[in-house]
Amino acid sequence: MKITTIPAVYRNVNRWGEILTVLSKYGLAGWLSRFDLDFAKGWLRTRDGEALARMSSETRIRMALMELGPTFIKLGQILSTRPDLVGVELASELTHLQADVKADRPEQVRRLVEAELGEPIEVLFAEFDDQPLASASIAQVHRARLHSGEEVVVKVQHVGIEKTVTVDLEILSGLAQFAEMHPDLVNYRPRATVAEFQRTLRREIDFGREERNMQQFASDFAGDESVHIPRVYPELSTSRVLTMERLNGVKLADAELVVGREFDLKEIAQRGADLYLKMIFDHGFYHADPHPGNILLLDGNTIGLLDFGMVGRLDEGLREEIENMLLAIVDREAGQLTAIITRIGETPSDLDLPGLSNDVTEFVSYHGNVPLSEFELGKALGEMTEIIRRYRIMLPAQIALLLKSLIMLDGTARLADPSFSLIDALRPHRRRLLRQRLSPARRLKKMRRIAGELEQLAEVLPRRLIDLLGQMQSGKFDVHLDHRGLEPSVNRLVLGMLASAIFLGSALMLSMKAWPSVTLFEAQISLSGSTGVLLSAGLGLRLLRAINKSGHLDRRG
């Protein structure tokens, strides 16, 4: 941990204590689970009395995040979108994270709404229900009615949530620095992951962003009767309060209610898939949390979307790469799929490219022989993500989020219609994508972009070359080398030299019987010399252990 983080630790010492206590409890439970000691596995329990040591490691992580509170619950929910980082099993477990947060008192909610909107509740709304419809990690939702008669819901941030998030984000930054020092955790890129989480969470607690997201979706799908985006009321919304239209329908997650209504679930599954594919490939702006609780079924088989806090954006370059990746999976082209993965991902310096190519070929061969009626694109994408993680390839956050959204979309559509195939839904889009890619307008747009980049290069290159030649002529030209992995070797070399120097000096003191000395077996022995010899022996053993552990003692190359 950097010394600059010490004041943050001191400021938040109580919260640090709570977090470390919870992590210690679940860590100890994980240690006990490795031993066949039934009597010991019941020592540590959840608040509901379940034995922690009898749970899977993924379940224990989810339980620990729930116990740590709203910020860590949101961390888990965001990590569930990164199976390339945490693995498919853990990401799947984290999708079950639900925040059962105690609602704020009615007077607190009214005070916050009035402070944000600048008028008494009675002036703002004809009716305002103090009993919340739901209370999640960041906010709670209340039913209300405007003076003009429209029914609305009001999303209100929990009192003090910004302070709680700020404190927890500081602590997470400190924990990430500790985690970077642990060899087993460094592959998860803790600091980069926490930095990405901080950006995502700060955007999510700003309801102004969610309001703009809803307005953009409403604009993108204006006139489309297959989908309904709730209307927002900007005059009754701020960064901490969001007022939107209340949709009267049935959530897809409420299976019993869905069955009791006259919905054409096959048509709804197809409409939902077409809707999301249009968001992704036409608009490059999509709803990134398509789980059944956020899908509302309205009269006329219309789909209502809820919760626009998590959205994904794709620029044209990334959109083309995603198109290429999905087309390669559909067409079973292993070589192209391998090339795309290594091109868009951040690969490690020691990437096993032949192994990756073999695994991708096996993946494509297996799914290529599955009958189309049984082909599950969500499952295939999950397996591909696991391959990417196994070879420590880091995908851009936008692509990882999109892959997770497609996996979730496939599962949600199959909940409505078990016979649904996302690969079938992709086929019409595949033909349209190919037509768009070959269209003169698309080619002209791409040529304009390339021409602009070449023009910028032509403007910058001569100036850079002149600067470079000037530095070389004046003797100020420097070459900076990045020695990757050299630090451990240098440290071992210094340690070896230090051990040798201490041994030689100590041996000299022993031969000269330097003070202080003692008589042992009628021989005078220097205490300082003996201590130095023991110290040098300890350093030597430490050095041999480090070399042996790394496996580079006598291996060539």
For 439: left if phi > 0, alpha if psi spans -120 to 50, otherwise beta; the answer is beta
Could you tell me if 139 and 158 are in contact, meaning their C-beta atoms sit under 8 angstroms apart? yes
Q: From CA 123, how far away is CA 557, in angstroms rounded?
A: 78
- The interaxial angle of helices 190-204 and 207-220, nearest 10 deg, is 80
What are the beta bridge partners of residue 51?
Answer: 45
CA separation, residue 190 to residues 78, 173, 193, 423 (Å): 14, 9, 5, 35
Long-range CB contacts (within 8 A, 24+) of 424-431: 424/372, 425/270, 425/273, 425/274, 425/277, 426/277, 426/326, 426/330, 426/377, 427/330, 429/277, 429/281, 430/326, 430/327, 430/330
Q: What is the DSSP code (8-state) at residue 51?
A: B
Q: Is the peptide bond before 516 cis (omega within 30 degrees of 0)?
A: yes
Which CA distances in Å does 484 have to 176, 350, 487, 549?
Answer: 22, 12, 8, 19
> Helix or strand or coil: residue 285?
strand
Pairing state of beta strands 517-520 and 523-526?
A: antiparallel
CB 305 within 8 A of CB 294: yes
* Residue 352 CB partners (closer than 8 Å, separation 6+): 391
**Strand partners of residue 297:** 250, 303
CA dist 365 and 353 (Å) reads 18
- Compute the half-sphere exposure of residue 288: CA atoms within 13 Å on the CB side of its CA: 25
Nearest residue to 284 via CA among 429, 398, 436: 398
168 is catalytic: no
Measured CA to CA, the distance from residue 540 to residue 534 in angstroms comes to 10
Structure tokens at 237: 């919304």
Q: Any idea which residue has 């209300």 for tokens?
A: 144
The 10 Å Cβ neighbour count of residue 347 is: 16
For 409, other C-beta atoms within 10 Å of its C-beta total 25
**Three-state SS annotation for 259-275:** HCCCCCHHHHHHHHHHH
Catalytic-labelled residue, pool 84, 104, 168, 289:
289
- What would the 3-class secondary structure string for 71-103 be? HHHHHHHHHCCCHHHHCHHHHHHHCCCCCCCCC
Which residue type is seen at 17?
A: G
Active-site residue numbers? Answer: 289
